[in-house]
Amino acid sequence: MTIALRFSLILSVAGLTALMGCSPDDAASTSPNSTDAVSNSEEDASATTDAAFVLGDLIPEFNPPTKEDLDKVEWMDKPVVDVYELMANRKEGEVAMMTAAEALAVRNKTPEDNRNIVSAMGTLATDGEINYSAEWNRHTSADIRNTNPLMISSSAEFDVSGLLSMGLFSFDWNFTPYGNAGSLVSWQTSSDGLMDMVVMRDDLTWSDGEKITAYDVEFSYQVIMSSAVPIPAVRSGTDQLQCVKAYDERTLVYFHFEPLATNVWNINFPIIPKHKYENTIADDPTLASSPVHVELDENPVSGGAYTISKRVRGQEIILKRRDSYYMFDGQQVRQKPHFETVRFKIIENPNTALLSMKKGELEEMMLTPEQWQSQTNDDDFYKFNTKSYALEWVYYYFGWNFRSPFFKDKRVRQAMSYAFNHQELLEKHRFGMDEASTGIFHRTSPWAPEVAPTSYQQDLTKAEDLLAEAGWEDTDGDGVLDNVVEMDSNFDGESEGSRRVPFEFTILTSNRPDRIAICELLQENLDQIGIRCNVKPVEFTTLQETMLGHKFHAVFAGWGTGADPDTSENLWTTKAIDNGRNYGCYSNPEIDKLFEQGKRELDLEERRKIYQKIHLTLWEDQPYTWLYFRNAYYAFNKSLRGYNYSPRGPYNYGPGADTIFKSAEIQ
């Protein structure tokens, strides 16, 4: 109930940083430094900050309707859910096959073991079972730079901020959005799809005692949409809204430009206390340099279940439960958060973190596949911990650049998919634990086709035939295929004429041994059919820049899945080539059309069909060679219960970490 932040940000930062293969060090991503911004503009005297600060200067002109107008609108109810109850209902239908004690005695060696452990550990607490004075030691791989929820830019900050903030909306394990019953009384959408109205509860308080009102939400929106505030990460999404207006302390209306199925995701943005920032923001729009703001960052006013009690830079962050979150006027009005203290221990190196787990000092962490395979099987590990995994909708792929002379032809791309030894990848490189990927949606996703496409198996003969069809032959007898192709050596989309060239290309990957090994496998497979593939590991930042500039032939990378399938529009549409993540310059007018339709289709069944068609079309075109879906591998201390996995891991959904507890029984 407390998780209610930008979900696209969850995806991008938590998922993507891991995907792109940067080490935890790199994950502490960079963001513009405040003093430089100020000094730069002072230097230029072309004043952005010299001029007076304008709150919300990016908000378009708009005349909002009056309260009377609103009463005349036809409204449809949307779900306001107590997600804890929702989860409890789901659990009633699932019976655990073992008791907790039995499951903890088992070592996780087979998929069946895993199923038992996951289901036993996921059982929710019964009354009286929760130890409310317990402490939970969580792992984070980097220190946080800001506590202000608007400035979140790393997965560490997201984890911590999630406990400090409150939100109006969330989504469940099926990615169905809902309004938080802990914050809202009602949520309605206008029948023309252009407005969303919510009525907030009146028992919400900030940690300093002030009430949380609709004016805070409106203010937050205005701050996000102020150009002088350096938070573009949060702005993308909010800039899809036409306006946000608070009509009174509890009533809030969000206005959209068009009636899209994706509007529901834009209304969810972080909330900061108006009474704390409204007078100070004009002096320091960066929200991070003035003494007042620095102090606020050190001791934030939080709206969520926890407050920061202590921070030791580089070591740990200690959060304490606050009574004013679940108590109001002496009555309990919300779920009591299960832990009295949550401590985030900052340990950058995964080896050290694992050592800490083995000593029982750290109580949860995400495991690397190597750690799962060889370092968590002995008595040392099982003394205090157990481990489990679950599917996560994160897939890895070889991406082919359509601007490369080699990969314009579909037959060549299909040949690549046939040439690769998928079986060895899954059995050896992924330890037989991850599943093959057959497209952008996992087969358990509602958007995936009813009948999943058949995955590619290695067939070198077929690959050779396809290549020959596409005109690749060894005409000069040097053992390497060659062909006449259109050249575009600077990848700008403009052809430089045709030439006969040998089939030699470079595949980029980030500098991690396991990824390099997968690319070496591709190199070996292609070598057998006469193609020279060079593997170039590059630093994370170089990889990013190169992909953004489309200056590559092939790349090995991964994506997580967004809560709404429309999020992949940013990967596959033609307009996303220059202004999006379509790094490989894939362009298919049919796909463009389908995405536009999908955004607008409000009927769920029809919408499904659209995205299924997208999935199958992409699969046919093979702009990627889809490789595997990666599981989430976690180690938990034996004293923890109530954790459940979703396709975004155990935490990044509703209820997420809220159901986790420690048993009140003496161990």
Q: According to CB under 8 A, which residues from 597 to 656 bind another protein? A: none
Show the site string, 50-79: x = touches another protein by CB under 8 A, - = not. Answer: ------------------------------
d(CA 212, CA 210): 7
The reply on whether position 490 binds another protein by CB under 8 A is no
The reply on whether position 374 binds another protein by CB under 8 A is yes
Is the peptide bond between 655 and the residue preceding it cis, with omega within 30 degrees of 0? yes
The reply on whether position 199 binds another protein by CB under 8 A is no
Least distance CB 37 / another protein (angstroms): 4
Using CB under 8 A, which of the segments 575-583, 617-625, 626-634, 656-664 binds another protein? Answer: 575-583
Distance of CA 449 to the CA centre of its chain: 23
The residue among 188 and 525 lying less far from another protein, judged by its C-beta, is 525
Q: According to CB under 8 A, which residues from 29 to 48 bind another protein? A: 29-37, 39-41, 43, 48
The reply on whether position 309 binds another protein by CB under 8 A is no
**Structure-token match 């070592």, residue found:** 107
d(CA 520, CA 385): 35
d(CA 394, CA 118): 19
**Single-letter amino acid code for the residue at 200:** M
Least distance CB 279 / another protein (angstroms): 24
Candidates 332, 351, 444, 495: give the one binding another protein (CB under 8 A): 351
Using CB under 8 A, which of the segments 92-100, 355-363, 390-398, 410-418 binds another protein? Answer: 355-363
Q: According to CB under 8 A, which residues from 133 to 152 bind another protein? A: 145, 152
The Cα diameter of the chain in Å comes to: 86
d(CA 115, CA 117): 5
Q: What are the tokens at 337? A: 């958060």
Work out the angle between the directed axes of helices 410-419 and 460-469 (0-180°, nearest 10): 160
Please say whether the dihedral angle defined by the alpha carbons of residues 76, 80, 85 and 91, taken in this order, is positive or negative: positive
Least distance CB 76 / another protein (angstroms): 26
N-to-C CA span, the chain: 29
* β-pair type (241-246, 184-190): unpaired
**Single-letter amino acid code for the residue at 73:** V
Candidates 341, 523, 617, 639: give the one binding another protein (CB under 8 A): 523
Distance of CA 123 to the CA centre of its chain: 25
Q: According to CB under 8 A, which residues from 545 to 574 bind another protein? A: 545-546, 548, 559-560, 562, 567, 570-571
The reply on whether position 376 binds another protein by CB under 8 A is no
Candidates 331, 454, 461, 667: give the one binding another protein (CB under 8 A): 461
Q: Is 35 exposed, middle or buried (0-12, 13-18, 19+ CB in 10 A)?
A: exposed
The reply on whether position 465 binds another protein by CB under 8 A is no
The residue among 203 and 361 lying less far from another protein, judged by its C-beta, is 361
The residue among 598 and 642 lying less far from another protein, judged by its C-beta, is 598
Show the site string, 397-436: x = touches another protein by CB under 8 A, - = not. Answer: -------------------------------xx-x-----
Least distance CB 403 / another protein (angstroms): 16
Strands (E) across 287-346 are located at 306-312, 316-321, 327-328, 331-332, 341-346
Q: Is 126 exposed, middle or buried (0-12, 13-18, 19+ CB in 10 A)?
A: exposed
Least distance CB 654 / another protein (angstroms): 19
Q: According to CB under 8 A, which residues from 271 to 290 bind another protein? A: 288
The reply on whether position 5 binds another protein by CB under 8 A is no
d(CA 280, CA 53): 11
Q: Compute how many residues bind another protein; rule: CB under 8 A.
A: 106
The reply on whether position 248 binds another protein by CB under 8 A is no
Least distance CB 423 / another protein (angstroms): 11
d(CA 632, CA 646): 9
d(CA 232, CA 225): 9
Could you count the other beta carbons within 10 Å of the beta carbon of residue 340?
Answer: 15
Q: According to CB under 8 A, which residues from 12 to 31 bind another protein? A: 12-13, 16-17, 20, 22, 25-26, 28-31
- Adjacent-strand bridge partners of 534: 506
Candidates 511, 373, 351; CA nearest to 429 is 373
Candidates 163, 142, 164; CA nearest to 153 is 142
d(CA 632, CA 176): 21
Candidates 4, 5, 8, 221: give the one binding another protein (CB under 8 A): 8
The reply on whether position 342 binds another protein by CB under 8 A is no
d(CA 211, CA 221): 18
**Single-letter amino acid code for the residue at 64:** P
The reply on whether position 9 binds another protein by CB under 8 A is yes
Least distance CB 362 / another protein (angstroms): 7
The residue among 243 and 353 lying less far from another protein, judged by its C-beta, is 353
Least distance CB 232 / another protein (angstroms): 4
The reply on whether position 517 binds another protein by CB under 8 A is yes
The residue among 82 and 370 lying less far from another protein, judged by its C-beta, is 370
Least distance CB 564 / another protein (angstroms): 9
Cβ-proximal residues to 61 (8 Å cutoff; 6+ apart), any chain: none
Least distance CB 566 / another protein (angstroms): 9
Candidates 5, 166, 233, 640: give the one binding another protein (CB under 8 A): 233
Using CB under 8 A, which of the segments 67-75, 107-115, 578-586, 648-656 binds another protein? Answer: 578-586
Candidates 209, 291, 330, 513: give the one binding another protein (CB under 8 A): 513
Q: Is 665 exposed, middle or buried (0-12, 13-18, 19+ CB in 10 A)?
A: exposed
